[in-house]
Structure 1
Amino acid sequence: MSSYQKEMVKIKHHEREIHGVSYMPNSKRKCPVVIFSHGFNGTNVDFAMNSDYLAKNDVGAICFDFCGGSINSKSDLKTDEMSIFTEKEDLSAVVETIKNWGNVDPDNIFLFGGSQGGLVSGLVADEYIEDIKGLLLLFPALGIADDWNKRFPTLDSIPDTHELWGVRLGRIYFESIHDYDVFDHIGQFNKNVLIFHGDQDEIVTLEYGKRAEMLYPHARIEVFPGEGHGFSEAGNKKVAEMTYEFVKANI
């Protein structure tokens, strides 16, 4: 087990600032790095265990709060200013920033996204194919646009604000995905993709994970029996171990 440094990171872009945490091995060599993107109303802490596991095994990790991504976010923006596309800008800024860090191997940057962060990671990977070595998706919320377009079928039906699970969302969230087909904007990423999905997920059905597996040229899905949207401790530990194995196999 190696030692590592945990440090606060601030990244400015589009007149806003991202708060993040880096977990970088105490190594003289440039390290492969996994960028973790949390889900709806999550924070960087959601992947602290995964990051600790990687950093102790000489793989760096970056976790951050999406701007407006949570009522507990330390980054800028209010939740009603956030959309899938502001989050896409945030993740792109993290990629652009860390690839220039002295201790990061720019040829071995991986994206890991959970739920809504999985959708965002998929969108970014398709646009940053040269920069991203591999993609890991944890119950990716690829049905977000479908779900909300059923709920608000016309632009006129979109409210100025709408509360979901205690989070106030703004018109921008729904308007930006109106008539948007997620599957037209993912699947071009031609390197390895690993999808983790529970067979009891009631928020994002397993069908979305399977559809993504079919879409990507080099994807594999690992189905977790009995797991829902948010894994058990045992499930999360297995995800952390498999993430490390995926990185090792792809560098």
Structure 2
Amino acid sequence: MGSYKKEIVKIKHHGREIHSVYYRPDSKKKCPIVIFSHGFNGTNIDFAMNSDYLAKNNIAALCIDFCGGSINSKSDLNTDEMSIFTEKEDLCAVIEHVKSWEDVDPTNIFLFGGSQGGLVSALVADENVEVIKGLLLLFPAFCIADDWNNRFPTLESIPDTHEIWGVQLGRIYFESIHKYNVFDHIGKFNKNVLIFHGDQDEIVALDYGKRAALLYPHAAIEIFHGEGHGFSEAGNKKVSDMTCEFVKANS
């Protein structure tokens, strides 16, 4: 196992700043990198264990705090200014930034997204096929637009603010996904995709993961029996191992 350094990196774009944590292997050569995107109300810390494991295996990792992505975010914006599409802008800006880092191999940039961050990573990968080498999705929340469009079926029914799970969301969040069909915007990414999904997920039905796996030309889905939306320690360890193997196999 190799050693690594942990650094805080600030990335500015669209008049706002993203806080991120960079796990940089002590390697003489340019390393592949995995950019981790957290889920709803998550932070960079959610993937600290995965990043530690990768960095010890000479794979760099960058864990970002989406702007307005959490009540605990160290990035700019309030949660009621965040939407799927502001997070998409954040991730695109991060990729642009990372491509020029001298210790990163720009031909081996991977995206890993959990839940809402999985949806965002999938949308970004579809528009950046040339740049992204592989895509890893942990219980990706491809249900978000469907869920909220069922809740607020018309533009008139969308409130100015709405609180869920202790997070205040703004009109932009719901309006931007009004009548939005996620499956029209994913599936073009023609490199390898690996989806991790639990069969007891009560937030994102397993059917969403299965449907996405069929849509991509080169996707595999790993179904974790007994796991829900948020894996056990053993489940997370397996995800870490499989992520490391995936990056090595595709680099």
TM-score using structure 2 length = 1.00
User: 2: distance between equivalents of 1:191 and 1:11?
Assistant: 27
When the two structures are aligned, how many residues end up with a matched partner?
A: 251
Query: What is the alpha-carbon distance in structure 1 between the residues aligned to residue 99 and residue 245 of structure 2?
Result: 22
Which residue of structure 1 lines up, in the alignment, with residue 104 of structure 2? 104
Q: Which amino acid aligns with 1:147?
A: D
Tell me which residue corresponds to 1:216.
216
Extract unaligned runs of 5+ from structure 2. Answer: none
User: Does residue 17 of structure 2 align to residue 17 of structure 1?
Assistant: yes
- The 2-side partners of 1:100 and 1:248 are apart by 21
Could you tell me how far apart the structure 2 residues matched to 1:2 and 1:84 are? Answer: 36
Query: How far apart are 1:58 and its partner, in Å?
Result: 0.3
AA at the equivalent of 2:47:
F
Distance in 2 separating the partners of 1:202 and 1:215: 22
Instruction: Provide the C-alpha distance between the structure 1 equivalents of 2:106 and 2:179, rounded to a whole number of angstroms.
Output: 35
Show the counterpart of 2:30.
30
Q: Which residue of 2 aligns with 1:67?
A: 67
Q: How much has 1:100 moved relative to structure 2? A: 0.4
Task: Map residues 126-145 of structure 1 onto 2, 5 A cutoff.
Answer: 126-145=126-145
Residue identity in the other structure for 2:169 = L
Shift of 1:220: 0.2
* Distance (Å, rounded) in 2 between the aligned partners of 1:21 and 1:58: 16
CA offsets per residue over residues 64-108 of structure 1, 9 Å max, x none? 100000000000000000000000000001100001000000000
Give the secondary structure class of the aligned counterpart of 1:213: helix
Q: Secondary structure at the match of 1:42?
A: coil
Matches within 5 A, 1:179-218: 179-218=179-218
Which position in structure 2 is the counterpart of 1:88? 88
**RMSD, matched Cα:** 0.3
Deviation digits for residues 217-247 of structure 1 (CA, Å, limit 9, x no counterpart): 0000000000000000000000000000000
Query: Which residue of structure 2 lines up, in the alignment, with residue 121 of structure 1?
Result: 121
Q: Could you tell me how far 1:28 is from its partner in structure 2?
A: 1.4
Alpha-carbon distance in 1 for matches of 2:23, 2:241? 16
Secondary structure of 2:132's match? coil
Structure 1 moving runs of 4+ over 3 Å: none
Distance in structure 2 (CA, Å) of the matches to 1:44 and 1:232: 18
* Residues 39-79 of structure 1: CA deviation (Å, up to 9, x unaligned): 00000000000000000000000001000000000000000
**Cα distance between partner residues in 1 of 2:86 and 2:236:** 27
Alignment partners' CA distance in 2, 1:84 and 1:199: 25
Partner of 1:48: 48
Deviations 1:97-137 (A, max 9, x none): 00100000000000000000000000000011000000000
Cα separation, 1, equivalents of 2:77 and 2:50:
26
Instruction: For 1:194 and 1:24, locate their aligned partners in 2 and report how far apart those are by CA, in whole Å.
Output: 24
- Equivalent position SS for 1:133: strand
Superposed, 1:131-170 pairs within 5 Å as 131-170=131-170
Q: Pairwise mapping of residues 218-237 of structure 1 onto structure 2 (< 5 A)?
A: 218-237=218-237
Q: Deviations over 1:138-164 (max 9, x none)?
A: 000001000000000000000000000
- Paired residue type of 1:80: D
